[in-house]
Amino acid sequence: MKLITQTGLFLASALLIVACGAPNETVETSDAQEVAEATGATLTLDPAASTIAWTGYKPAGRHFGKIPATTGTLAVEGDKITGGSFTFDITGLKIEDLEEGSEDYGKLWGHLQSDDFFDAANHPTATFEITGAEPFGADDVIADKEEFETEYTPAADSELSPEAPTHWISGNLTMRGTTKNIKFPATVNIADGTVTAMAGFNIDRTAWGLSYGDESDAVDKAKDQFIYNTVSLQLNVKAN
- Is the separation of the CB atoms in 128 and 86 below 8 Å? yes
> Helix, strand or coil for residue 134?
strand
Nearest 10 degrees: Cα torsion 21, 178, 205, 105: -130
Give Cβ neighbours of residue 185 (< 8 Å, ≥ 6 apart). 27, 136, 140, 142, 161, 162, 165, 167, 168, 169, 199, 201
Looking at 80-84, 90-94, 150-154, 174-178, which range is the least confident one? 80-84
- Is the separation of the CB atoms in 41 and 75 below 8 Å? yes
Residue 2: pLDDT band with limits 50, 70, 90: very low
Residue 40 gets the label, from left (phi > 0), alpha (psi -120 to 50) or beta, of left
* Rounded Cα gap, residues 166 and 202, in angstroms: 18
* Rounded Cα gap, residues 89 and 175, in angstroms: 11
Among 27, 50, 8, CA closest to 175: 8
Q: Which of 2.40.128.110, 3.90.650.10, 2.60.40.10, 3.40.50.300 would CATH assign to domain 2-239?
A: 2.40.128.110
* Rounded Cα gap, residues 165 and 198, in angstroms: 9
Q: Where are the domains of the chain?
A: 2-239
Among 156, 130, 118, 110, CA closest to 32: 130
CA distances from 190 to 5, 6, 11, 23 (A): 12, 13, 21, 24
CB atoms within 10 A of CB 207: 16
The pTM for the full model equals: 0.85
Average pLDDT, the chain: 86
What pLDDT, in 10s, does the model give residues 62-78? 999 999 999 998 887 77
Give residue 10's pLDDT.
34
How many residues are given for the chain? 240
